[in-house]
A and B are shown apart, each in its own frame.
Chain A
Amino acid sequence: MSVLRRAERQNLKDMRKGSRRAYEAVVSQHYQSIYSFMVYLSRNTSLAEDLTQETFVSAWSNIDNFNGHATLKTWFHQIAYHKFIDSQRQTKRETDLKSKLNQRIADFTETQNPLYKLMKDEHSILLHMAIQKLKPYEYLLIVLHYFQGLSFRQMDKVLDEPIGTIKWRTSKALKKLKYFLTDRAE
């Protein structure tokens, strides 16, 4: 069953016919969200740009197989997430190779994180630092739900996990965040 809104369905139809305007409308609507998602995951602006481009290229080549089972937003996030995972596997292979060759790997400091530079006040900085302490999967859940604005049902499609598990783990991550913040304040 299709969950697309009428405007999205029309856009999809036009894209399949080859309408450039429809493609541009979809890019304009979603590229900011996908880029920011990639920045949250990769913590690197140039890698985030590359991954965003790969996401859209992959979406264009699979547009005819998309049957409207999810909204375009969810679908793009699903592709973006898998692109990031693939890039991490690639990076790990390169890192393992470097360590085998006894090359020093540059330390990553939090101040190099492009998101850190966006924080204007102390509260935001504290919250940002607390989020970075979460486990990778918990961090991902917080990013998807609170930063990307995806519902639990949409997250279920992106992560391919039961919706109950996602809800429970997101709640657990939030409580952990609260603990980090209150513990720091005391």
Chain B
Amino acid sequence: MTHKKNKSKDLSLKSLETKLRLLPKAKASQTLKSRLFATIPNKPIGISYDFQLKRDFRIWNFSTTAAAAVLIVAFMFMVNYALSNPAPISMIEQNDTSLFSGSNQQYFFNDQNDFLAAMIFPNHSKGFVTLTNEHEN
């Protein structure tokens, strides 16, 4: 009894795992093997249409994602470039000092078209915005 008790205490989980792995297994007969060989299909099965679709979808998905990523990076690069190099002001805006000449100081043209119209039709007041002249006050 004591010997059996000691033996049971020696049964660790590791040794139990080893004993389990060493238990004999059922062996299949040769007739089963022949039966299984007989189930082998004669014609090639080939890849099913569903499987092809799934495979093609995966390829398409990957290509679209890659193209979108490239476009986003290109767009960000362009925006970054545009922000760091602002467009130069037009020649008219740069060189047109007549807007600030003594006689015309009180007038500010809304846009260049109005400026041209004012040149051609001096009495036409469209597009003029009057500024308050501090010196006059």
Binding site for B on A (CB under 8 A): 15-18, 20, 23-24, 27-28, 31-32, 35-36, 39-40, 45, 48-49, 52-53, 56-57, 60-61, 63-65, 67, 114-115, 118-120, 123-124, 127-128, 131, 142, 146-147, 149, 174-175, 177-178, 181-182, 185-186
Q: Could you tell me the distance in whole angstroms from the C-beta of A87 to the nearest C-beta in chain B? A: 17
Provide the B5-18 mask, 1 if CB < 8 A to any CB of A, else 0.
Answer: 10111010100110
From known contacts A16-B45, A60-B45, infer whether A32 and B28 are also in contact, taking CB-CB under 8 Å.
Answer: yes
Query: Residues of B at under 8 Å CB distance from A?
Result: 4-5, 7-9, 11, 13, 16-17, 19-21, 23-29, 32-33, 35-37, 39-48, 50-51
How many A-B contacts at CB < 8 Å in the complex?
116
A-B contact pairs, 19 of them (CB 8 A): A15-B45, A16-B44, A17-B44, A18-B43, A18-B45, A23-B37, A31-B32, A32-B27, A36-B26, A52-B36, A53-B32, A64-B51, A127-B20, A131-B20, A182-B8, A182-B11, A185-B8, A185-B11, A186-B4
User: Which residues of chain B have C-beta atoms less than 8 A from A20's C-beta?
Assistant: 40
Complex Cα–Cα for A16 and B48 (A) = 10
The complex places the Cα of A22 from the Cα of B41 at a distance, in Å, of 12
A169 CA / B9 CA spacing, docked (Å)? 23
Could you tell me the distance between the alpha carbons of A93 and B5 in the complex, rounded to whole angstroms?
46
User: B44 — which chain A residues lie within 8 A by C-beta?
Assistant: 16-18
Set B17, B25, B39: member contacting A174, Cβ < 8 A? B17
CA distance A86 to B47 in the complex (A): 28
Cβ-defined contact, B37 with A24, below 8 A: yes
Given contacts A35-B28, A52-B36, list 9 more A-B pairs with CB under 8 A.
A23-B37, A49-B29, A56-B39, A64-B47, A115-B26, A118-B25, A124-B24, A149-B21, A177-B20
Which chain A residues border B32 with CB–CB below 8 Å? 31, 35, 49, 52-53
B26 touches A128 (CB 8 A): no
